[in-house]
Every structure is written in structure tokens, then in C-alpha cells.
Amino acid sequence: MSIVRRLTAVLLPAALLATGGCLATSGDIEKLQLTLKSMQDSIRVRDARSDSLQVQTVRAAALQLAQQFARELAVVSDSVRQLSGSVQRLQGDVTLSMHDLRTQLVTVQEGIGQSRKGIQDLKSTVESAAPVAMPPAAPGKGADPAAVGVPPAATLFSLGRKSLIGNATGAAREAFQQLITSYPTSDQAGEAQMNIGNAYAQEGNPAAADSVYALVTTKYAGRPEAATSLYKRAMALKEAGQAAQARKLFQEIMDKYPRSDEGYLTVEILKSLKQP
């Protein structure tokens, strides 16, 4: 039931009572209708105001939600920008790391290539030092009768030197020893013997090297390689901290080989080795 009908239902009896129970006149009815219309207009105005207030409330709430959403969107946008910057920096770091890795790989590959070349050179040196590669020698100066079919002393010495330079110390010792055995009176025999000591020293075996050097100083005394071997023994003792024994050997150089290259070097060394 509408509000007008409810009011009519309430006011019509009241109007009848107000007229003392008599039948209402047309004027009374018109007054009643005007009253009802006035009340109806008031209700409509009130409803309109209520609707307007609700609309304003809804609009305010919507505006507040929009502002909150804008703030949250700004925060999210900042986070996205920061994340994008981090990703770009990460991509840059990855690119730089890949470049460094490629550079390192190139360096390693170059090192491998050099190592392969060194191994190939060493292999060639060892193969060249093998007895099967040595041409037979004809008897000549310094040759032993038993050395027929053995390469010349110069060939053996050259092969030994090449092997020693190529760090093939075993092949070097073999070539030098073959020279000493086959050509004991060769002019290169003393130096070959000293080079055997050099091969041991190159291998990190100082005791064996010293033993060979000592043999050279006695077996080939008076020769340049004897002075060099004596100097090598003295220097090894000096570096080992055995100054007294080193001084004796340096003095022996001065006594036996004063005009040798080692003798000139020994003069200054003896000055530095003070008497205890």
C-alpha cells in the first residue's frame, strides 16, 4: 500500500470524526485532498533529499576508493620500475660475465695450443735423440775402435744439447753418456760429462749433480769444464748456507784457475764470504 493510501485511510476517519460524524461536504473533501497533496509533496522532497544524500555518500566512497587505488597503483608502478632496473643491471652483468668467460676460453685455447706445440717439439726432440735416428759414424779423431756404427761425437753432443734444452733430460744423459763411452778421448767428452750433471740439476737432483761435477773436476782437471764444475759445486754450497765448505771450493778455483771466467767471478764472491 502506498503512503497516500495509508494517509487517506488514517485521515479520512479523523475528518469524519471532526465533522461530528456528519457527511463531509465538498469543501471538506477538497481541503483534505490539498492536505494530502501537501503531505505527499513533503514526502517526495524528503525522499529526493535522501536519495541525493545517498548519491553523495556513494560518490565520496567511490572517490576515496579511486584515490586509494591510485596510491596503490603508484606503489606498484615504482616496484615495477625498480624490478625493471634490476633486470637491466642483471642483463648487463650477465653480458659482461659472458664476455669475460669468452675471453678466458680464448686464453685457455691459446694456452692449449701452445702446450700442444711444446709437446710436439719435445716429442720431436726425443725422437731425434733416439739411437735409431742416429747415422753411423766412420772412425775418426777421438774415435774408439768399438765405436764403429755409432754416430760421430759431434752428432751425439748436438743431440744431447737439444734434448737438454727441450727438458728431455733422460735422452740428454743417454746421448752424452754414449759420447763418453764411444769417444773417451774426444775434446767434447769433458763437457758432455758436465752436461750429465746439468741434466741431474735440471731434474731437481742436486746430490747426483754434485757427484758428477766432482767427477769432472778430477777426471778432466785443467780443462775449462773442470773450473765450471768446481764453480757450480761452490755456488750450490753457498746457496745451501754452507759458507765454510763453499769458501774452500772458491779458494781452490783461485788456486787452480785464477784466469778463468770463474776465477774472476770468485774474487768478488770471496770478499763477501767473511771469515768466521
Cell of 115: 702446450
Predicted pLDDT at 124: 54
Backbone angles phi, psi at 178, to 5 degrees: -60, -40
CB 132 within 8 A of CB 126: no
What pLDDT does residue 64 have? 79
Instruction: Return the CATH superfamily for domain 131-272.
Output: Tetratricopeptide repeat domain (1.25.40.10)
Q: Which DSSP string do the residues of 197-216 spell out, in sequence order?
A: HHHHHHTT-HHHHHHHHHHH
Which residues neighbour 153 within 8 Å (Cβ) at sequence distance 6 or greater? 142, 143, 179, 182, 183, 186, 188, 189
In the chain, where the domains are located: 3-88, 131-272
Residue 105 pLDDT = 59
Q: Please give the chain's pLDDT, 276 residues, in tens.
A: 455 555 555 555 554 445 444 455 777 777 777 877 777 777 777 777 766 777 777 778 777 777 887 787 777 677 767 776 776 776 666 555 665 666 565 555 555 555 555 555 555 554 554 443 444 444 444 455 445 678 999 999 999 999 999 999 999 999 999 999 999 999 999 999 999 999 999 999 999 999 999 999 999 999 999 999 999 999 999 999 998 999 999 999 999 999 999 988 998 898 887 655
